[in-house]
Amino acid sequence: MPKSPNSDTLTQEIRIQAAAQYLPQESDPDGNKYFYVYRIRMVNEGQRRARLLSRHWVILDANNQREDVIGEGVVGQHPNLGPGEIFEYRSYCPLRTEWGTMEGTYTFARDSGESFEVRIGRFFLVPTAKNSVIPE
């Protein structure tokens, strides 16, 4: 059975699930432009509240060209997850090659002020992953 192009990672009681889908209608292979939408689901599986502060993405294309994306929040928000709460969002990633990977970290903080990093497991940006979904 082939390995899933998605990721599902648990760090410090925060689960991060990620999946990507190729957007052929937005892409231009002749111009080396490949466009992907990705979906992230965050779940607080612990008993303490956690607020997302920032993100650090590491994006690699098929030529092993690395791009780091660092910023505050996600999609203009800083989700504050109580026990059992879920936050989902979608965003986009352009590539210069047909396939690539994404992975990284989110920085969260507890109400006590303690900050910690949550891993975003590597997931794949591949045209064949047209039906990549995160299980409900």
Residues above pLDDT 70, as percent of the chain? 92
SS (H, E, C) the chain: CCCCCCEEEEECCEEEEEEEEECHHHCEHHHCEEEEEEEEEEEECCCCCEEEEEEEEEEEECCCCEEEEEEECECCECCEECCCCEEEEEEEEEECCCCEEEEEEEEEEECCCCEEEEEEEEEEECCCCCCCCCCC
pLDDT higher than 90, residue 51 = yes
Q: What is the pLDDT of residue 132?
A: 52
pLDDT higher than 70, residue 1 = no
Is the whole model's pTM more than 0.85, yes or no?
Answer: yes
Domains located in the chain, CATH noted: 7-125 (2.60.40.1470)
pLDDT higher than 90, residue 102 = yes
pLDDT higher than 80, residue 130 = no
